A and B are shown apart, each in its own frame.
Chain A
Amino acid sequence: MKNVFGFLISVALGIFIILALANTDAFPAFGDVDLTERISNAYLDINNVEQVGSANLVTAIVVGYRGFDTLGEVTVLFISALGVAFIFGGVKQKRLDLDFKPNFMLRVGSNILFGIILVTSFYIILHGHLTPGGGFPGGAIIASAVLLLYLADDRFRSNVKGFKVLEGVAGSIFVVIGLLGLVFATAFLENFLPAGTVGNLISAGIIPVIYVLIGLKVGSEIAGIVDNFLTEEESA
């Protein structure tokens, strides 16, 4: 009974959404978009692109035009990591036991893979203004490397305090760079370094610097969440 009722409500909602979208100008058909009517036309303007200096326009929007939004986004992620730590709470010392005993090959192999994954993540973070990727995916890859060590090594315990210091320092430098924009330019988080040539590794002013900081902060936050899930209170 409950399933039928839920099914009917869901189908009615889906039909309602489709009908509501089909008859408006705000939602044209798929692929039938005219960008000259949208604000994105300004982001795609070649003069604006050269002024910002970031080849990846998504990065230009996320860190350049809407850097303040990104500061808030990083703060939301920080607060959710704080909430996870608060819920699990307590002084946790013991990590969860694995069901199996990892042998020598698994431990050494996962350590080698850890280095390769870390190098990949730094590549993705550093090229955030040139190629797809950036601080957020790179940070998630850092956290996945830490998760790999947790799953493959039964004695591994990450340096949680180091992660917390790294996270705090990265977030503080982000805010300090924003304030420097207030000093050397006119607005918070405004670019005060030369934009350089579009497509070079060292270009786009403060965008790569901020993306590296975001990558470190996101990586340490998610690694902290992983650590929180995989440890438990010492049952003496």
Chain B
Amino acid sequence: MIQYAAIILFVFGIYGLFTNRNVIKMIVSLNIMEIGLNIFIISIGYVGGGSLAPIISSTQDLGLIYVDPLPQALVLTAIVIGVGTTALGLAIAKSIFNTYHTFELDEMEESA
């Protein structure tokens, strides 16, 4: 079920990218898309039936069920890369603002 929520978040991000012409709002839309994808990747690792976080609490094999740790490790990577790209995008937005004194792409084209 949560997979559908993740897809809906992703679609929200796509819609935001289509309709917004403000640089900051476009970066926020990209981040919403990224969060949707991350939730989706984590959700495909969930094992039902009272499964635990993938942290070994006992070295005896007690038949504990753990969720799949691999999607979580990959999402950890994706989050860090997302921070890097967001920082780079915001830096570009700031330098655009210093040049044109606006975040709106339409106003930029008029003043250019």
Identify the A interface with B (CB < 8 A): 2-3, 5-7, 9-11, 13-14, 17-18, 21, 27, 30-33, 35, 38-40, 43-44, 46, 49-50, 55-58, 60-62, 66, 69-70, 73, 76-77, 79-81, 83-84, 87-88, 130-132, 136, 140, 197-199, 218, 222, 225, 228-229
Residue among B14, B70, B88 making CB contact with A84, cutoff 8 Å:
B88
* A45 to B, closest residue via Cβ: B61
A contacts with B: majority SS? helix
Q: Which residues of A are found within 8 Å of B48, using beta-carbon distances? A: 30-33
Residue among A5, A9, A21 making CB contact with B3, cutoff 8 Å:
A21
* Interchain nearest-CB distance for A7 vs B (Å): 6
In the complex, A43 Cα to B66 Cα: how many Å?
Answer: 11
Residue among B8, B55, B91 making CB contact with A55, cutoff 8 Å:
B55
* Interchain nearest-CB distance for A195 vs B (Å): 12
In the complex, A228 Cα to B92 Cα: how many Å?
Answer: 12
* Interchain nearest-CB distance for A140 vs B (Å): 8
Seed contacts A31-B48, A55-B55, A136-B76; 7 additional CB < 8 Å A-B pairs: A6-B18, A17-B10, A30-B46, A35-B47, A58-B76, A61-B70, A88-B94
List 19 A–B pairs whose Cβ atoms lie within 8 Å, in order of A's numbering: A10-B11, A30-B2, A30-B46, A33-B45, A33-B47, A33-B48, A40-B69, A44-B54, A46-B59, A57-B54, A77-B80, A77-B84, A87-B88, A88-B95, A136-B79, A198-B56, A199-B59, A225-B87, A229-B91
* Interchain nearest-CB distance for A142 vs B (Å): 14
Q: Is the CB of A57 within 8 A of B66?
A: yes
Q: Is B22 an interface residue (CB 8 A)?
A: no
In the complex, A49 Cα to B14 Cα: how many Å?
Answer: 41
Q: Which residues of A are found within 8 Å of B1, using beta-carbon distances? A: 30
Q: Is B97 an interface residue (CB 8 A)?
A: no
Q: Which residues of B are found within 8 Å of A218, using beta-carbon distances? A: 80
Q: Is the CB of B59 within 8 A of A57?
A: no
Known A-B contacts A61-B69, A83-B88, A229-B91; the reply to A55 vs B77 at CB < 8 A is no
In the complex, A46 Cα to B48 Cα: how many Å?
Answer: 21
In the complex, A211 Cα to B14 Cα: how many Å?
Answer: 35
* Interchain nearest-CB distance for B47 vs A (Å): 5
Q: Is the CB of A6 within 8 A of B19?
A: yes
Identify the B interface with A (CB < 8 A): 1-4, 7-8, 10-12, 14-15, 18-19, 43-49, 53-57, 59, 61, 66, 68-70, 72-73, 76-77, 79-81, 83-85, 87-88, 90-92, 94-95
Known A-B contacts A18-B7, A39-B70, A229-B90; the reply to A73 vs B54 at CB < 8 A is no
* B79 to A, closest residue via Cβ: A136
In the complex, A197 Cα to B59 Cα: how many Å?
Answer: 9
Q: Is the CB of A50 within 8 A of B59?
A: yes
In the complex, A131 Cα to B91 Cα: how many Å?
Answer: 34
Q: Is the CB of B43 within 8 A of A10?
A: no
* A50 to B, closest residue via Cβ: B59
Residue among A27, A61, A76, A131 making CB contact with B81, cutoff 8 Å:
A76
Known A-B contacts A13-B11, A30-B43, A56-B55; the reply to A87 vs B91 at CB < 8 A is yes
